[in-house]
Chains A and B, each alone.
Chain A
Amino acid sequence: MSLDNLQNWHIQPGEEYTKLILDKADSGVNVLDRNTLTELEQIVDHFENEPPKALMIASAKSAGFLAGADISEFQDLKTHDQVIVMLQRGQNLFLRVERLKCPTVALIHGHCLGGGMELALACDYRVAESSRDCKLGLPEVKLGIHPAYGGAIRLPRLIDPGQALQLMLAGRMVDGKAAKRLGMADIAVHSRYFEEAGAALLKKGKRKQKRDFKQNLYALPPVRTLVGSMAAKQVAKKASKEHYPAPYRIIDFWKENPGGHESAYRAEAESVAKLFAGANSARAIENLVRVFLLDKKLKSEGKKAKFEGTHVHVVGAGVMGGDIAAWCALSGLRVTLQDSKPEFIAPAIKRAHKLFKRKLKATHLVNAAMDRLIPDPQALGVPQADLIIEAITERLDAKKGLYANLEPRMKPGAILATNTSSLPLEQLSEGLARPERLVGIHFFNPVALMQLVEVVRGQNTSDEVVNLALGVVTRIGKLPLEVKSSPGFLVNRVLMAYLGEAMKLYQEGVQPELIDELAVKLGMPMGPIELSDTVGLDICQAVAEEMISAFGGDSSDVLTIHIEKGNLGRKSGQGFYTWKKGKAIKQKASRGSNDTREISDRMLYMMLNESVQCLAENVVTNSDSLDMGMIFGTGFPPFLGGPIQYMRSQTKDVCANRLAELESSLGDRFTAKPGWDSLHL
């Protein structure tokens, strides 16, 4: 067979070993699409007939070894048989790689994920780069599936099976050194030693399978059952089997297929095919794949204009300003943090130090990040800053006074950003010499955990500044979402509708534990009552009042009563719940005589209704952005795809009818908002 016309692979024959280099045509990264697989089949055919002395598989891309399957191809998979055919093709190919007569080694730098990891696992040996940038893992669960090119069989066979299960369940990626520790890689070295390390491993010949103590232990059925049920309990805290079956399927497969017999491959493919076939699991896959692709799209929004600056000046060292400054410093920017007195800056430096230690670990990196974060009570950083982020108290006069001070001292090209969550940019920019450079960059609390950042376009904000602000957000590794300057923007506005309904339920006497449990069952990461306590009841009330003044409605007495007693939630130790050591003390939820479907629908439909109106008012540019904002900003269940995608899957009529039912029993807060008529799903 001719191998002359390979598009994606290069073969470099050598005396001691042959090198096979993956270099996908017209792409910055390697992914396993149909063409790449087809060519690999041809190559394996050839090697089966004329085996080289030894084989080294490497990547020509600087980004990494192999990022996994081509996820966009998932959307073509419609029937059970299509899925089985696709999976078995990959399984067979990797089995043939495994059974090549010659020893094989994968040289892994950068990312080695999903199908890429599975190819590496089919080799006899793996050499990983000893760098933090090297990421190995089987993250399929994040797309609602599990490894099915033999990965779910080979990883537990290679390393401690319990660890393998954990890695697959969390979809966790590990760096090169951790991979070596776990046994996923045989050695972790700098990439300059890849050839030497690979050659040394190949000299050992084909790998001999041996079972160690852990593998023998996990081969015992009672052990597997016990560990499996423990894992299932862990998973249940995060996702219900009904909405998100993939992790449960991983556990089942793991329990039932020890050792990796021939039959396991069929079972592995069947297990994933079933996920594609089940109504909820297929919806989860479809939505998670969509989220994955939209995430890339939003990030590419941030690449329209590259933020080339190096210095950020943050004004206001409170929780938000301090944490924004810390995050920017963590991301490699030089940051000056201004507040009126150094003692106001001190707590922010403490939190930053903790963050740096957690994220960076190595002392020299922690020091470097601390060196980049400069307390600046005298505002010396202003003339040097490429970006100023204002995060002071939410008072118009205070902010305008500050801007009047800052603007004359700013560099000509610098951006002035506000982290305001409530004041209209149009008012804030009044009096500025250059109102077009004021933009909102709205972070969420806690800054380190919340991936979404709203970039707020005021009427006067120039396109260039909006694009640069999107670029800033991308530069610091967050997900930018462009929103219009209107009260609450997107996330707080929809979130408040939802929290407000939860307060109503509470006032009606529904047990808070039940409210939270039903929300979690819906797929929210945390129930609304616990969330309010976590955010702080005073803050919830401030945001709520702002929404009420903009959109009407009535405020919640429960909040006022709590706040007057000094019960502010988690931070004061008492809110709706009593908090001990950062944890809410909860009773067991009991349904009583409650209509649980109505309770969860009330919370869900408040979000849907508000989302429809936001879309109609062009708060966001399109429904995809709205869904992404809701998923990453409010924790709307990703496997439901976001509010609009959810309505799409239920159909507009079904949703409109349910809303009308709620309206007739609960009143006009469930009246369809103006956007429903024009809503096209």
Chain B
Amino acid sequence: MSSSVYLIEGARTPILKARGKAGPFASADLATLAGRHLMMKTNIQTSDIDETILGCVMPSEREANIGRIASLRIGVPESVPAWTVQRNCASGMQAVDCAMNRIQLGHSDIVLAGGSEAMSRAPIMFSDKYVVFLGRLMAAKTPVAKLKVISSFRPSLLAPVFALEHGLTDPVVSLNMGQTAEQIAERFGITRSQMDEWAVRSHLRAAEAFEAGVFEDEVVPVIDGSGKLYDRDDGVRSDSNVEKLSTLKPVFEKPYGKVTAANSSQISDGAAWVLLASESAVEKHNLKPIAKITDVRWAGLDPAEMGLGPAHSIAKLLKANDLSMGDIDYWEINEAFAAQVLACVEAMASDDYCRKQIGVDAALGNLPIDRLNIHGGAVACGHPVGMSGARIILHMARTLHLQNAQRGVASLCIGGGQGGAALIERM
């Protein structure tokens, strides 16, 4: 088995909820804000970095190879290569996995890896029909021909196309992510009130954790050009309660569905980085890693049930490392949907599901709920898709320290029908 890779330090921006308009920072801005702070926290110099890898699902049209943009803006030298990876909701975890591989291969000793997303800035596009109309208009040479084209104009042509809506829809099975959550909720009998209760739990735990200073070493306060300070995840609501949540209408399968805006993760903006190092770099620079990342595993499944991806990838991870669920002290399963997290817990405890769908001999086991997402999750703080994978790895490393525990798993589901899971051990 390959050698472990050390997590030296990490930092992330607060997660900023999309509020119907472009957020204050572009994706590259967010990555820069978190990254430059991270580099101040450690005694590793930017010139010690061997490469930079950033996960991002939807960089703007001005952010081609956003990893390189962020790397340069953070102040990493021009001579250090930088690249961008995309595995949908797991892009940030993919960046960490790539960094591990590069270190294990011996190509790099110190890698800056992370994830970034500004979902509030996803573009609004013209429809295909309108593009065809414009093309015809430009091709028309004579005034008469132009008039003819213009006369075919219909206001409906101007109906906008939201890139984000498409991004959150699986084109192979033509289901949006919320619909996949409804499907697995039905499969495992997750009720509306279970979902809402989970959502409230997520908010309250996140709010408590912020009050208790859990995120102080993790979250960098950021200030925008208009002087507004953002010092915490602004989607978290300490006043969340089940009564209020139960009044919300379903958004994905109206009118009878169970998945609502409140029991789904929020659309938001944010970036997270970790600094990873080889064993020799740790010795050479006399580093004090906070954790080591032992392994990352990936699994695939039916895109229509993508939310169960964590169960599949966790099964692989445990098997590869010869561990059982009882060996894991804490769990982070990214809360794309409350229904989906609860369904994962059910799936892992189900002999039937584990045998037939995952292909193992028996159920993985019961996941102790009090060890899962103990500081809340994406339902409360938001799920900037490219960022989340890096965020949960970093937060698991911090959690193990805070809880004085040894071993944790961070896992997430991936649109398109995949799951990813990372095994993290405290140093």
**A binding-site residues for B, Cβ under 8 Å:** 334, 336, 342-343, 345-347, 349-351, 353, 357, 367-368, 370-371, 374-377, 380-381, 384
Number of interface residues of B (CB under 8 A): 19
B227 within 8 A of A: yes
- A367 B29 Cβ-Cβ under 8 A: yes
Cα–Cα distance between A357 and B226 once the two chains are bound (Å): 12
B75 within 8 A of A: yes
- A368 B40 Cβ-Cβ under 8 A: no
30 intermolecular pairs with C-beta atoms under 8 Å apart: A336-B40, A342-B221, A342-B223, A342-B231, A343-B229, A345-B223, A346-B223, A346-B229, A347-B227, A349-B225, A349-B227, A350-B225, A350-B226, A351-B227, A353-B226, A357-B225, A367-B29, A368-B73, A370-B225, A371-B32, A371-B36, A371-B73, A374-B37, A375-B221, A375-B222, A375-B223, A376-B40, A377-B221, A380-B37, A381-B40
List residues of chain B with CB within 8 A of the CB of A347: 227
Q: Which residues of B13-64 have CB atoms within 8 Å of chain A's CB atoms?
A: 29, 32, 36-37, 40-41
What is the chain B residue whose CB lies nearest that of A351? B227
Cα–Cα distance between A375 and B74 once the two chains are bound (Å): 14
Contacting residue for A342 out of B32, B40, B226, B229, CB 8 A: B229
B254 within 8 A of A: no
- B229 A334 Cβ-Cβ under 8 A: no
- A353 B225 Cβ-Cβ under 8 A: yes
Contacting residue for B36 out of A353, A367, A374, CB 8 A: A374
List residues of chain A with CB within 8 A of the CB of B284: none
List residues of chain B with CB within 8 A of the CB of A381: 40
How close is A434's CB to chain B, nearest CB, in angstroms? 23
Residues A334 and B223 in contact in the complex (CB < 8 Å), given A342-B229, A374-B40: no
Cα–Cα distance between A116 and B212 once the two chains are bound (Å): 67
B154 within 8 A of A: no
B228 within 8 A of A: yes
How close is B273's CB to chain A, nearest CB, in angstroms? 15
Cα–Cα distance between A629 and B411 once the two chains are bound (Å): 65
Cα–Cα distance between A267 and B263 once the two chains are bound (Å): 84
Cα–Cα distance between A370 and B74 once the two chains are bound (Å): 11
How close is B20's CB to chain A, nearest CB, in angstroms? 23
- B228 A346 Cβ-Cβ under 8 A: yes
How close is B48's CB to chain A, nearest CB, in angstroms? 14
Cα–Cα distance between A346 and B231 once the two chains are bound (Å): 11
Cα–Cα distance between A477 and B69 once the two chains are bound (Å): 29
Cα–Cα distance between A631 and B29 once the two chains are bound (Å): 42
List residues of chain B with CB within 8 A of the CB of A345: 223, 229
Please provide the 5 A-B residue pairs with the shortest distance between their CB atoms, ordered closest to farther.
A350-B227, A353-B225, A342-B221, A380-B40, A349-B223
What mask results when residues 308 to 330 of chain B are scored 1 for a CB within 8 Å of chain A, else 0? 00000000000000000000000
- A367 B227 Cβ-Cβ under 8 A: no
What is the chain B residue whose CB lies nearest that of A334? B75
List residues of chain A with CB within 8 A of the CB of B229: 342-343, 345-346
What is the chain B residue whose CB lies nearest that of A371? B73
Cα–Cα distance between A159 and B222 once the two chains are bound (Å): 48
Cα–Cα distance between A446 and B1 once the two chains are bound (Å): 62
How close is A366's CB to chain B, nearest CB, in angstroms? 8
List residues of chain A with CB within 8 A of the CB of B228: 346
**Which has the most chain B C-beta neighbours within 10 Å: A345, A347, A349, A357?**
A349
List residues of chain B with CB within 8 A of the CB of A342: 221, 223, 229, 231
List residues of chain A with CB within 8 A of the CB of B224: 349
Cα–Cα distance between A376 and B224 once the two chains are bound (Å): 14
- B40 A346 Cβ-Cβ under 8 A: no
Cα–Cα distance between A345 and B231 once the two chains are bound (Å): 12
List residues of chain A with CB within 8 A of the CB of B73: 367-368, 371
Cα–Cα distance between A394 and B37 once the two chains are bound (Å): 29
What is the chain A residue whose CB lies nearest that of B73? A371
How close is B202's CB to chain A, nearest CB, in angstroms? 26
How close is A622's CB to chain B, nearest CB, in angstroms? 42
- Besides A342-B231, A349-B225, A368-B73, 16 other A-B contacts (C-beta < 8 A): A334-B75, A342-B221, A342-B229, A343-B229, A346-B227, A349-B223, A350-B223, A353-B227, A371-B32, A371-B73, A371-B74, A374-B36, A375-B223, A380-B40, A381-B40, A384-B40
Cα–Cα distance between A353 and B24 once the two chains are bound (Å): 13
Cα–Cα distance between A349 and B221 once the two chains are bound (Å): 13
What is the chain A residue whose CB lies nearest that of B32? A371
- B226 A380 Cβ-Cβ under 8 A: no
Cα–Cα distance between A384 and B45 once the two chains are bound (Å): 10
Cα–Cα distance between A584 and B321 once the two chains are bound (Å): 75
How close is A37's CB to chain B, nearest CB, in angstroms? 46
List residues of chain B with CB within 8 A of the CB of A353: 225-227
Cα–Cα distance between A371 and B223 once the two chains are bound (Å): 11
Q: Which residues of B189-242 have CB atoms within 8 Å of chain A's CB atoms?
A: 221-229, 231
What is the chain B residue whose CB lies nearest that of A352? B225
